[in-house]
Copies of this chain bind each other. A is one copy, B any other.
Amino acid sequence: MSVPNRSRRPTIKDVAAEAGVSPAAVSKAFNGTGRISEQTRLRIQEAATGLGWSPNAAASALRRSRSHTIALVVRRPSDVLGTDPHFSELINGLESELAPRGYGLLLHLVADGDEEGRLYERLAAEGRVDGAVLTESRIDDPRPVQLRRLGLPFVLLGGPDGVMLSHQETGVTEAVEHLLALGHRRIGYVSGPPELVHSRFRQGVFTDVLDRSGLAPVAVIPTDFGAEAAIAATERLLALSPRPTAIVYANDSMAMCGIGAAQRAGLSVPGELSVIGYDDLPLGRWLHPRLTTVDQRVTVVGAAAARVLLAEVGEERVPAPELAESPRLVVRESTGPASP
C-alpha cells in the first residue's frame, strides 16, 4: 500500500476558463437555455470533457454534501476479508478519523472492474457518498479518470505516485539486508498478484537489493494473496535443492501460513528457515515464533487517507496527513542466522 494521492475536482469555473467563456455560458450550453452558438457549445463541451466536468456531477456533489459517507469498494474475491486482516486494519485506520466526525464507511464488494465502474456511476448519480477510497492501485488503473469525471473526491492507495512509493523501498530493503546480515544467500519471495502496482514494485526492490550483493532470488512465486497459494508456494520453495534458508512473503497472512507449512514439514523456524512477512498485523505479535515483518502502517495510511478525503469534501480543516513515515522492518523471532 502506498499513500494517498490528492484528487482535484473540476468546477464550472475551470470549464469556463478553459473554453474562454463565462460560467453562465457553460450553464447555458449544458441546460439548453439561452442563446449560444453551436461553435461555442462544442468548445465548451470539449473543455468539460477534457477536464472531466459534467453538470450532473456538480449537482450530485451538491446533493452529496450531506451524505457523511465515504465509499470503500473492494475488488478481491469475497473470501479475502476473512483470510487477510489487512482490510480490517485499513478500515480501522479510516474509521479512526471518520467515526469521530460522524462519517460512515460504505463497503461494497465487487467481482470485477466493470462492476466497480458501474457502482461508482450509481453512487455518484444518487449522491450516496462524499468521496471514495481506492485501494489496490493497478497498472493502467481507469478509476482516477472516472472519479474525476464524476466529480467524486478520492484517494488512491498503493498508487503509482513516484515520490510516495520511494518511501516503500525502505521496508523491503531493510528486510533483505537483515537476512543478508544473518548470512542468508538463498532467499525466496512469495509475491502478490502481478497486476497490482505495489506487488511489482516490492518484487523489484527485493530483486534489486539482492542484485547489489551479487545475488539472485532462489525463486519469485506470484500468488492471489490467498492461504492455499501461500502454502503451495512454500512447499515449492522447500522442495528446491538446495533449499532456501529464508522466505520473504508479500503479506503477514501468507507468512503465517508459510510458517505452519514449514513446521508441518518438520522444519524449525527460524532454526532451519527464516520467515519475514509484510503488514505487521496484530496476530503476528502473539504467535510462536513471533513474526518478523515490515510494518507498513496500514492504520496510519488509512487514517491519512481519511483526513485527505475529509479535507476534500469540505469538513473542518484537518491537519495535513503525516505521510512521511515509511514502512520499517520489525525484527522479532521468525528470523535467525542462516542454517548451513
A residues contacting B by CB (< 8 A) are: 66-67, 69, 71, 78-79, 81-83, 85, 87-89, 91-92, 95-96, 99, 102, 104-111, 119, 122, 126, 128, 227, 230-231, 253, 256-257, 259-261, 263-264, 281-283, 285-288, 290, 299
Give Cα A118 to B290, complex, Å.
41
Known: A69-B128, A108-B104, A299-B82. A287 touches B92 (CB 8 A): no
A79 and B285 CA atoms in complex are apart in Å by 15
Residue of A78, A102, A104, A282 contacting most chain B CB atoms (<10 Å) = A104
Collect the chain B residues with CB atoms within 8 Å of residue A95's CB: 78, 107, 109
The reply to whether A264 and B288 contact each other, CB–CB distance below 8 Å, is yes
Q: Could you name 24 residue pairs across A and B whose Cβ atoms are closer than 8 Å? A: A67-B128, A71-B104, A78-B92, A78-B99, A81-B85, A81-B91, A82-B281, A83-B283, A85-B85, A95-B107, A99-B109, A99-B110, A104-B106, A104-B108, A105-B108, A106-B107, A227-B283, A227-B285, A253-B283, A256-B286, A257-B283, A259-B287, A259-B288, A263-B288
Please indicate the chain B residues that have their CB under 8 angstroms from the CB of A81 in the complex.
85, 88-89, 91-92
A132 to B90 CA separation, bound complex (whole angstroms): 23
A109 cross-chain contacts in B, Cβ below 8 A: 95, 99
A299 to B77, CA, bound (A): 14
- Chain B residue at minimum C-beta to C-beta distance from A299: B82
Complex formed: what's the CA distance from A227 to B286 in Å?
Answer: 8
Question: Nearest residue in B to A66 (C-beta to C-beta)?
Answer: B126
Give, as a whole number of angstroms, the nearest-CB distance from A168 to chain B. 21
CB of A91 within 8 A of CB of B107, answer yes
In the bound complex, what is the Cα–Cα distance between A142 and B216 (angstroms)?
62
Q: Complex: how many Å from CA A128 to CA B104?
A: 11
Give the nearest-CB partner of A253 in chain B: B283
By a CB distance below 8 angstroms, the chain B residues around A66 are 126
Q: How far is the CA of A338 from the CA of B95 in the complex (A)?
A: 45
Of B88, B111, B283, B299, the residue contacting A256 (CB under 8 A) is B283
Interface centre among A108, A111, A253 (most CB of B within 10 A): A108
Query: B106 to A69, Cβ gap below 8 A?
Result: yes
Q: A107: which B residues are within 8 A, CB to CB?
A: 91, 95, 104-107
Q: Contacts A99-B108, A99-B110; is A283 near B286 (CB within 8 Å)?
A: no
Q: In the complex, which residue of chain B has the Cβ closest to the Cβ of A227?
A: B286
Q: Residue on B with the closest CB to A122? A: B102
Determine the distance from Cα of A154 to Cα of B313 in the docked complex, in whole angstroms. Answer: 31
**In the complex, what distance in Å separates the CA atom of A108 from the CA atom of B69?**
10
| Distance of A65 Cα from B247 Cα, bound (Å) | 52
